[in-house]
Amino acid sequence: MSNVKGKVVVITGASSGIGEAVARLLSQHGAHVIIGARRVERLEELASSIRSEGGSVEYQPLDVTRLEEMQAIVDRARNHYGHVDVIINNAGVMPLSPLGALKIDEWNRMIDVNIRGVLHGIAAGLPIMKQQGFGQFINIASIGAYVVSPTAAVYCATKYAVRAISEGLRQEVGGDIRVTLVSPGVTESELADTISDEEARDLMKEYRNISIPASAIAQSILYAINQPAEVDVNEIVVRPTASIA
Ligand code: NDP
């Protein structure tokens, strides 16, 4: 039996990669997906593709670093459907570089999108979920939330933070609200396109050869949502079989 059909699911960073795959899969299983990201033309294309397959989708421009935009997309979901079942805090950036390169703007961008963006998703959704007495946050971390490697110190720090925030949230709101952390290993997406450091970019090309499709991560999210309300899947790590890190 599907526990996904009819659920109202807000997905951040749905214009490519994992977010896009999740929107497609959940809508195929009967969820109402509300998708956000900054590249609106990509959202538009995705929405019309989902609709052409009979899926239910709304889209809205979203910069997760702006609390008011995060609030607006969550409010839109609630106003349209009367409640919000799931918020997937997926938007993220990964401009890797050695700390010595002092790419301070990129450090700040990772902190803003990867940490503040998740906190904004929680801030926008938690009061609604508390009021309605149910809900689920799915926060996308990374295997970088468990291990650190050169050029990835700040990125990993942001993902360790997402893991800590998710565990803290779970302890505080468990009972009514479910909290799931999904940590992908290397996955096909546009994530590595944000790397401006040449050395880090070359390293990544090699590292990403074994990438698994974004649909593999989407399947794990479907699994977590699909469980009965009293079952809270807290952490899932999905990595390529060939991965050693
Ligand atoms: P993509 O680059 O393909 O997708 C990232 C998404 O985040 C895009 O839709 C982008 O949309 C969105 N985004 C970036 N900045 C913002 C912002 N300020 N506001 C709103 N949306 C934003 O990469 P992935 O699909 O791989 O990334 C999804 C998540 O998975 C990230 O959190 C990433 O860290 C995590 N992850 C990915 C792994 C991988 O190997 N692919 C491994 C481990 C974790 P737009 O630019 O249109 O705003």
Which pLDDT does position 191 carry in this prediction? 93
Q: Decide if 155 is catalytic.
A: yes
Please tell me the distance between residue 155's alpha carbon and the centre of ligand 1 in angstroms: 12
Going by pLDDT thresholds of 50, 70 and 90, the confidence category of residue 61 is: very high
Going by pLDDT thresholds of 50, 70 and 90, the confidence category of residue 202 is: confident
Q: Is residue 103 part of a domain?
A: yes
Helix (H) or strand (E) holding 183: strand 177-184
Helix (H) or strand (E) holding 79: helix 67-81
Distances, alpha carbon 202 to alpha carbons 131, 154, 240, in Å: 48, 18, 20
Quick check: CB of 46 below 6 Å from ligand 1? no
Ligand 1, atom 34: nearest CA belongs to which residue? 92
Quick check: CB of 165 below 6 Å from ligand 1? no
Q: Is residue 244 part of a domain?
A: no
Q: Is residue 78 part of a domain?
A: yes
Q: Is residue 2 part of a domain?
A: no
Which pLDDT does position 174 carry in this prediction? 85
Q: Which atom of ligand 1 is nearest to the CA of 114?
A: 32
Quick check: CB of 140 below 6 Å from ligand 1? yes
Going by pLDDT thresholds of 50, 70 and 90, the confidence category of residue 99 is: very high
How many domains is the chain partitioned into structurally? 1
- For residues 193 and 93, the answer to whether their CB atoms sit within 8 Å is no
Please tell me the distance between residue 11's alpha carbon and the centre of ligand 1 in angstroms: 11
- Claim: this prediction has a pTM higher than 0.95: yes
Q: Is residue 3 part of a domain?
A: no
Q: Does residue 1 register a pLDDT over 70?
A: no
Ligand 1, atom 6: nearest CA belongs to which residue? 13
Going by pLDDT thresholds of 50, 70 and 90, the confidence category of residue 204 is: confident
Please tell me the distance between residue 94's alpha carbon and the centre of ligand 1 in angstroms: 8
CATH, residue 84:
3.40.50.720
Q: Which atom of ligand 1 is nearest to the CA of 155?
A: 34
Cα 63 to Cα 76: distance, rounded to the nearest angstrom: 15
Q: List the domain range (segments joined by +) for residue 122.
A: 8-238
Q: Is residue 1 part of a domain?
A: no
Catalytic residue, chosen from 59, 146, 155, 160, is 155
Q: Is residue 150 part of a domain?
A: yes
- For residues 91 and 120, the answer to whether their CB atoms sit within 8 Å is no
Q: Is residue 121 part of a domain?
A: yes
Please tell me the distance between residue 129's alpha carbon and the centre of ligand 1 in angstroms: 25
Cα 222 to Cα 216: distance, rounded to the nearest angstrom: 10
In this predicted model, what pLDDT tens digit does every residue of 13-54 receive, in sequence order?
999 999 999 999 999 999 999 999 999 999 999 999 999 999
